Chains A and B, each alone.
Chain A
Amino acid sequence: GAGVSQSPSNKVTEKGKDVELRCDPISGHTALYWYRQSLGQGLEFLIYFQGNSAPDKSGLPSDRFSAERTGGSVSTLTIQRTQQEDSAVYLCASSLTRDKDTQYFGPGTRLTVL
């Protein structure tokens, strides 16, 4: 079946602009995760959604970052007033349920802030 998809694959923006990154999880997966991969910090957890529960936002680096998940499926990660240090690859993953823990990753969105 189809894997996790993300769009856009590449995004170049100017400092101070807002960006939205989209993730479509594997159909039927109830858990969705966002991670960030950057040269200086490696792979970092950002946020986690599970069904209708309140999301775990403990990894979001600042209040400029937010995410939502509509209808328990598609998720959007929004970065407001982008900064150069936000440049990274943003990876989305999904898993079947909390108990079925294996996370499957999408190809990522490469964000470049000029």
Chain B
Amino acid sequence: GEDVEQSLFLSVREGDSSVINCTYTDSSSTYLYWYKQEPGAGLQLLTYIFSNMDMKQDQRLTVLLNKKDKHLSLRIADTQTGDSAIYFCAEKRAAGNKLTFGGGTRVLVKP
């Protein structure tokens, strides 16, 4: 939706780092998530960050959160062809239980 925005497309060479960006508008967001969707498949949870954290690292994944600017990013180190997919960021707000998703960023990894 319009409350969470992502760029549409990212092309990256195998072995390089990928950075996927996301902006959101609601300052009451409690958790922010990154999901991966491969063709014909459901959403796979990659990682999440609580809103009082600035950074979270999990193997090849690094999440950075700038709460002041309402900006979230996902860095994938040593990107592989298997990382080609659509990546969605999502926020969960303090009120309610639903997730609000961005439109998704299609990542294409070229050999």
Residues of A in contact with B, size category: 20 to 34
Chain B interface residue number, banded:
20 to 34
How far apart are the CA atoms of A106 and B104 in the complex, in Å?
18
Q: Which residues from chain B contact A42 at a C-beta distance below 8 Å?
A: 1, 101-104
* Interface stretch of the complex, out of A12-20, A69-77, A97-105: A97-105
- Which of chain A's residues have a CB closer than 8 A to the CB of B99? 33, 35, 43, 45, 103
Interface residues of B in 78-111 (CB under 8 A from A): 88, 90, 92, 96-104
In the bound complex, CA of A94 to CA of B51 (Å): 21
- Report the bound CA distance from A45 to B103 in whole Å: 13
Inter-subunit contact B35/A48 (CB<8 Å): no
The 10 A-B pairs at the shortest CB distance, nearest first, are namely A45-B98, A43-B101, A105-B43, A107-B42, A105-B42, A108-B42, A42-B103, A48-B97, A101-B31, A106-B42
